[in-house]
A and B are shown apart, each in its own frame.
Chain A
Amino acid sequence: MVELSIELGSVLLLAFGLKGLAKIRTARTANGLAALAIGLAVVGLLLQQGLDGWPWMLLGLGIGGGLGAVLALRVAMTSMPETVALFNGCGGMSSLLVAIGAVQLPTPLNLVGQVSVLVSVLVGAITFSGSLVAMGKLQEWLGTPGWTLRPQRHAVNIMLAVACLVCCVLVLKGMAVTLIPLTVLSLLLGVGLTLPVGGADMPVVISLLNSYSGVAAAAAGFVVGSELLIVAGAMVGAAGLILTQVMCTAMNRSLTSVLFGGALGAGSSEAGDGAGGREEYTNVTSCSPEECALTLEAAERVIFVPGYGLAVAQAQHSLKELARLLEQHGIEVRYAIHPVAGRMPGHMNVLLAEADVPYDQLVEMDDINPDFPRTDVVIVLGANDVVNPRAKSDPASPLYGMPVLEVDQARTVFVVKRSLGSGYAGIRNDLFELPQTSMVFGDAKQVLQSLLQELRSLGVGKVAVGSGSAR
């Protein structure tokens, strides 16, 4: 009875935890509740089955839990997306291993159990290899090789899927050995499905893989006969699907085009109708940090638009320093946050929060768009696709319809960028050629540092002006 109430309590806590995670006020407590729920579930299970095999349990706890804790506490906020992908993949791997272990137990599995083993292996393996590919792409260890975008990739993936199904049937017919080829083929399928997806769409894929890992956990629940595991897995699986849908909506992409459409922009550059990313920029003005500083000094309202380039350069602290200096000079400073800026929704919020940027200075897209026309200077830091005016004007562009930050409305725009290379989605950006736009080439952190130096040598911040100094 005790075990049952513990299990029920743990399900309730999990449900409340998941619900609370979707609200800012409750999110942190909710995360703790969910962790507590898992702890309770473990206690309940151990009460039920005893501590038989405890050295093995300790081994898993020490190595897995220890490594997880170290990584989680050490990893930089900038590489959060790939960290989540890695954790997710390991969850999938765990379900896969449990299923492979379960078939070797002396107690024979019934049909439901056997099917669950197959689902667990298949989905677990896809989650594992898919998540690792996603991590590799986010870390920029892996690109999107051209051959993965050929139409034949669909045929290859379909063949892999069919081969997986054949293996499943063979396993059900009693050939347990075919679990090995099934594992290998599913791992390959995970790679085949994830590799062609463009980097800009990676968050959606990670969210989807997260949903898969829930499904794999639920399947493992069937294998070992644990209702708790089934409920929790099903809950995460379903919630993950919803979250995936929410993210797709934020990026104005459909799930099918993310999964099967290949990398954004790759198709259009082949079409050669001028809408592609290979076209050269002709009318680009570039300027030095010094000129940029002069303009900044004279401005009244400044908006920063952070993007992935800021994250890569680890420049959030320099940005905060620059913003403080400008505020001391009486300049109004705000940050425009596009919902999918960076490599993951909310990425920029997390990053700027780390640098102690005040919450009320981060303004979401819909609220800040009307303010751009009366903004003196916009500084785009390593963002590209989320400020591309083509998303509004060019129906042929793959970005068309995606809500963007309308920085082209501002009086002056500085784009800090390493080079004129195309954005993550590989699409040409008309913003760079506008008359009010100047490019400041360089690494975001170095540019910000030289801006700081230039502004200080101009005397900005030494004599406090206006109300900005009262903070």
Chain B
Amino acid sequence: MSVPLSGTSALWVLVLGSLLGLELIGKVPPTLHTPLMSGANAISGITLLAALALIGEAPTPALKLIGAVALGFALFNVVGGFLVTDRMLAMFRRREAN
């Protein structure tokens, strides 16, 4: 929050980020649909950055609490998401080793 973005440069970031996302995923084997969805879902929990920023900026405890709850939800998504994805993928790995 310390560096206010100019509206236009932030929009550039948005557009280029979207294009990158479109390019990154081409063909996905059906086996990986579920893990990929789960992994991408964990990444979307990156909104925890916004929650941290909110806690840092918040002047009142009430607002900090909102930030903390938001952080909790985001971390639930991130930590759970990555772990669950890893559990799924670990099975493929073990199977290939056989």
Contact = CB atoms under 8 A, between A and B. Distances in A.
Contact of B84 (A87, A213, A346): A87
Given A53-B64, A60-B72, A101-B70, A18 B24 contact: yes
Nearest to A362: B31
Given A49-B1, A90-B74, A210-B44, A22 B63 contact: no
Interface in B1-52: 1-5, 7, 10, 13-22, 24-52
Chain B binding surface, main DSSP class: helix
B26 A22 contact: yes
Contact of A21 (B7, B40, B48): B40
Contact of A97 (B32, B36, B51): B51
B82 A225 contact: no
Contacts of B32: 21-24, 27, 346
Contacts of A19: 24-25
A1 B5 CA distance: 17
29 contacts: A15-B24, A22-B27, A24-B29, A27-B92, A28-B86, A38-B46, A45-B53, A46-B52, A56-B65, A61-B72, A65-B78, A68-B75, A68-B76, A69-B80, A72-B80, A72-B83, A87-B84, A98-B70, A210-B44, A213-B41, A216-B44, A217-B44, A217-B45, A221-B49, A222-B10, A226-B1, A228-B46, A345-B30, A346-B31
Interface of A: 14-15, 17-19, 21-24, 27-28, 30-32, 34-35, 38, 41-42, 45-46, 48-50, 52-53, 56-57, 59-61, 63-65, 67-69, 71-73, 75, 77, 80-81, 83-84, 87-88, 90-91, 93-95, 97-98, 100-102, 104-107, 110-112, 203, 206-207, 210, 213-214, 216-218, 220-243, 246-247, 250, 337, 339-340, 344-347, 349-350, 353-354, 356-359, 364
Contacts of A223: 50
Given A49-B53, A238-B18, A97 B70 contact: yes
Nearest to A14: B43
Interface of B: 1-5, 7, 10, 13-22, 24-59, 63-96, 98
Nearest to A209: B41
